[in-house]
Amino acid sequence: MGKWTRRGLIALGVIAVIGGAAYYWLIMESGTSSQSYALDIAQVRRLADAMPGDKPREIHVEQVAAFAFPETAVVAGDSWNTTAIPVFSYQLVFPNSAAIVDTALDEKIGKAAGTVAFYPAAFARMSTALNKASLIVVTHEHGDHIGGLLVQPNLKQLLNAAKLNKEQVDNLQRYAPDYPRAAFQNYHPITYDKYLAVAPGVVLIRAAGHTPGSQIVYVKTQDGKEFLFLGDVAWHMRNIDTMRERARLITWWFLGEDRDAVLAELVALHALKKSEPTIHILPGHDGETVAALERDGLLKKEFQ
């Protein structure tokens, strides 16, 4: 074997080892958290019940758009088969008012972000509902959750009903550099430590990690049914069932996420799902979970 052939083979071997390690680290491995995340559901329930007034009667859902990602992007180590990442907005219907949880995105943001489907009629119904809402909250400050609010022509007026947290507003620059700054002049975001009741039966739960402003929205309806809108702590229920995160290529390179924090939240949610099986957990982009809740009449199609 010639000297150069030998060197070439060694170099190829080194590249294969490095490549294999990189592939494992970026695509396959999920890892475990060095921290723990506490979710005191008894305290959340107390806060939800303490707020005077009628709780939501119904929860409605709109699917506004969809992405399609490889399964291993959603759950590290899964296959390269494509899986749906639908984009949702939710409407909590109270006897005399309504609230919106997440506002999806418009067609322009969607195209720029690579959506594979957009439903204009759903976006139009969401926009109409935003204008009638007495409360608007978002799980986090990413474009597919807050974008539908930011693009409204009367954003400044809508912000009167919006309870965005300080971290969500502070990080708009990072995630939505073109956002209309002027509308946020004199806007006072909410600040809270761990839990904050914002309406009868509705409690915000701090869950920083996916983004600094990430929060889970707990909802208890008038008939006592409980829901947790996770935002993108988990994209699919499988993240919670397996306690596995998105691929590191996604969380580290594309999202700049605090992976350690999210892994701890997945562990806590996994435990909660076991100990409180009647709570309906809604990951941020899980079409099967939403479809099952629609079949059971717990979510109603289309906003009112």
Residues interacting with Zn ion, by CB under 5 A? 144, 232, 284
Report residue 217: phi and psi, to 5°.
-105, 115
Is 232 or 265 the residue whose CB approaches Zn ion more closely?
Answer: 232
- Least distance in angstroms from the C-beta of 206 to Zn ion: 18
Q: Of 48 and 299, which has the nearer Cβ to Zn ion?
A: 299
Residue (127 or 139) nearer to Zn ion, CB: 139
| Cα separation values, 67 from 104, 105, 115, 293, Å | 12, 12, 4, 21
| Nearest residue (CB) to Zn ion, 200 versus 284 | 284
- Minimum Å gap between C-beta 61 and Zn ion is 15
Cβ proximity to Zn ion, 209 vs 284, nearer residue? 284
Quote the least distance from Cβ 266 to Zn ion, whole Å. 16
Nearer to Zn ion (CB atom), residue 144 or residue 286: 144
Please give the Cα distance from 111 to 17 (Å, whole number). 38
- Of the pair 141, 144, the CB lying nearest Zn ion is at 144
Q: Which two tokens stand for residue 90?
A: 């939710």
What is the rounded distance in angstroms from the CA atom of residue 264 to the CA atom of residue 260? 6
Question: CB of residue 101 vs Zn ion: minimum separation in angstroms?
Answer: 13
